[in-house]
Structure 1
Amino acid sequence: MLAALGGFAIIWSIVALGALLAHTGVLGASAEATLNKLTFAAASPALLFTIVAKGSLGHLVSPTLLASVVAIAAAIGVYLLVNALWLRHGLDAGTIGWLSAAYTNAGNLGLPIALHVLGDMTWMAPILLLQVGLLQPFALACLDASAARADGVRLSPARYALLPLRNPITVGILAGLLVNLTQPPLPSWLLDAVAMVGATAVPLMLIAFGISLRLDPLPGRGAHAGEVWAIQAIKLIVMPAVAWGVGRLLGLPPAGLMAVTVIAALPSAQNIFVIASRYRVALPVARDALFWSTILTVPVITAISAWLS
Structure 2
Amino acid sequence: MSSLIVTIGKLAPVAFLFAAGALFARRGIIGGEVSKAFSEFAFRLAIPAYLLGSLYVADLRRVFNVPALAAYTCTAIIAAAAVAVIARMRGRTTREIALRIMAACQVNTAYIAIPVFGLLFGDASPIFPVILLQVCVLTTIVIAIMESASRDSGDQGRTIVRQGIRAALTTPLVLSCWVGIAANLANVPAPQWLLDCLSMAGAAAAPVALFALGLHLGATGLRLHAADPDEYWLIACKCVGFPLLAFTLAHFVFHLSHPWLGYVVLIAAMPSPQNLFIFAQTYDTDIDLAASIVVKSTIVTLMLLPLWAVASARM
Give the alignment's TM-score, normalised by structure 2: 0.76
> Closer, same or farther in 2 for the Cα pair 1:30/1:102, shift >3 Å?
closer
The Cα of 1:135 is off from its aligned counterpart by: 1.5
Residue equivalent to 1:33 = 36
1:208 partner SS: helix
- Percent identity, aligned pairs only, is 19
Backbone CA RMSD of aligned residues: 3.6
1:206 partner SS: helix
Residue equivalent to 2:177 = 173
Looking at structure 1, the residues matched to 276 and 242 of structure 2 have their Cα atoms a distance apart, in angstroms, of 23
The number of aligned residues is 295
Looking at structure 1, the residues matched to 231 and 138 of structure 2 have their Cα atoms a distance apart, in angstroms, of 19
Looking at structure 2, the residues matched to 47 and 177 of structure 1 have their Cα atoms a distance apart, in angstroms, of 13
Contact 1:140 1:167 in 2 (8 A): no
Corresponding letter in the other structure for 1:190:
L
**Equivalence map 1:35-114=2 (5 Å):** 35-59=38-62, 60-86=64-90, 88=92, 91=95, 94-95=98-99, 97-98=101-102, 100-103=104-107, 106-113=113-120
**Equivalence map 1:1-309=2 (5 Å):** 1=3, 2-59=5-62, 60-86=64-90, 88=92, 91=95, 94-95=98-99, 97-98=101-102, 100-103=104-107, 106-113=113-120, 115=121, 125-126=125-126, 128-142=127-141, 146=146, 154-156=157-159, 159=163, 162-224=166-228, 226-253=230-257, 255=258, 259=262, 262-263=265-266, 266-268=269-271, 272-273=273-274, 275-276=275-276, 278-279=278-279, 280=281, 282-300=290-308, 302=310, 304=311
> Closer, same or farther in 2 for the Cα pair 1:187/1:220, shift >3 Å?
farther
Looking at structure 1, the residues matched to 168 and 50 of structure 2 have their Cα atoms a distance apart, in angstroms, of 18
The Cα of 1:14 is off from its aligned counterpart by: 0.2
Deviates more, 1:19-28 or 1:154-163: 154-163
The Cα of 1:235 is off from its aligned counterpart by: 3.4
The Cα of 1:31 is off from its aligned counterpart by: 0.6
Post-superposition Cα deviations, 1:190-241, rounded to whole Å, max 9, x if no partner, equal: 1221222222222122112111222213154331474244232343234324
The Cα of 1:12 is off from its aligned counterpart by: 0.8
Looking at structure 2, the residues matched to 148 and 195 of structure 1 have their Cα atoms a distance apart, in angstroms, of 41
The Cα of 1:85 is off from its aligned counterpart by: 2.8
Give the alignment's TM-score, normalised by structure 1: 0.77
Looking at structure 2, the residues matched to 218 and 14 of structure 1 have their Cα atoms a distance apart, in angstroms, of 18
Looking at structure 2, the residues matched to 261 and 133 of structure 1 have their Cα atoms a distance apart, in angstroms, of 15
Looking at structure 2, the residues matched to 88 and 175 of structure 1 have their Cα atoms a distance apart, in angstroms, of 39
The Cα of 1:62 is off from its aligned counterpart by: 4.7
Deviates more, 1:174-183 or 1:229-238: 229-238
The Cα of 1:95 is off from its aligned counterpart by: 4.6
